[in-house]
Amino acid sequence: MKLNANSMVILSTYAQGMQQWFEGSLGQYLLKEEQNYFDRVVVDIFGFHALQVGFPQFNFLRANRIPFQFRMGISQGASFYALPDFLPIDSCSLDLILLPHILEFNSNPHQILREVQRVLIPGGQIVISGFNPLSLWGLNRYFKSAKQEFPWCGQFISLPRLKDWLKLLNFEIVGGRLGCYVPPCSKDRWIKRFHFMEAAGDRWWPISGGVYFLQAVKQVHGMHIIKPCWENSLSARRKIASATQKFKGTVKNE
């Protein structure tokens, strides 16, 4: 299997700058929002095997009760090292996959979704988080002087486009939300000052959240067994039998 060298370079840069960014005020704010969402969603998903692709130093599966859990990546904390373009996993073997911000930091997000679709069992679930380009966070990418730094170096994917990709791969959207309405300030005091925008954003401008979350289920189209109408057939027989018995009884009386 030939790995995508371009993907390796992008993911290496992504992994190196990510940890430093998450240690700052804005990174801690984002991490809290992401952890809270994943905790609420995965707690009610069951199965045998779950995989988190990316962010291996953070356990977004901690609230889930699936017995076999793995975190894949190219940095410390991963259960095994691999690229998301070609998952070293058998087809139809996983019940749950988390993709926290892995799509916008890879040169081929379509291939990642195809691999996810391949390894999920029918009815398996995928939970995705991504940066919203139609937000203050998205606009910040164009005014940032250091555009090569995380997370502004990513290619943010719009929510409608991601939904179209999932639909083409036979995924059904079953949940999701937007969050992080606070402007991407680097200082903790400004993040606290603008925190009122979280509640206001959910109510007045929900499509402008800095981060979106999507939950989808893998659908498999197959044959539907058409059962014979046994009940109608039995009812018809009972009516015939009753009419015959009545007729015979009438003849006998005469």
Is 245 among the domain residues? no
- Judge if the upstream peptide bond of residue 151 is cis by omega within 30 degrees of 0: yes
- Whole-model pTM: value is 0.79
pLDDT tens per residue, range 111-123 = 999 999 999 999 9
Whether 2 shows a pLDDT value over 50: the answer reads: no
Domain boundaries, position 66: 5-226
Is 253 among the domain residues? no
User: What's the CATH code of the domain at 132?
Assistant: 3.40.50.150
Is 88 among the domain residues? yes
Whether 72 shows a pLDDT value over 50: the answer reads: yes
Question: Measured between alpha carbons, how far is 254 from 239 in angstroms, rounded to an integer?
Answer: 23
Burial (Cβ within 10 Å: 0-12, 13-18, ≥19) of residue 252: exposed
Is 25 among the domain residues? yes
Is 237 among the domain residues? no
Burial (Cβ within 10 Å: 0-12, 13-18, ≥19) of residue 211: buried
The count of structural domains within the chain is 1
pLDDT (average), residues 207-212 = 89
Is 243 among the domain residues? no
Lowest mean pLDDT among 132-141, 155-164, 208-217: 132-141
Is 87 among the domain residues? yes
Is 233 among the domain residues? no
pLDDT at 219: 93
Give me the amino acid identity at 75.
S
Give me the amino acid identity at 151.
P
Locus of tokens 């679930």: 125
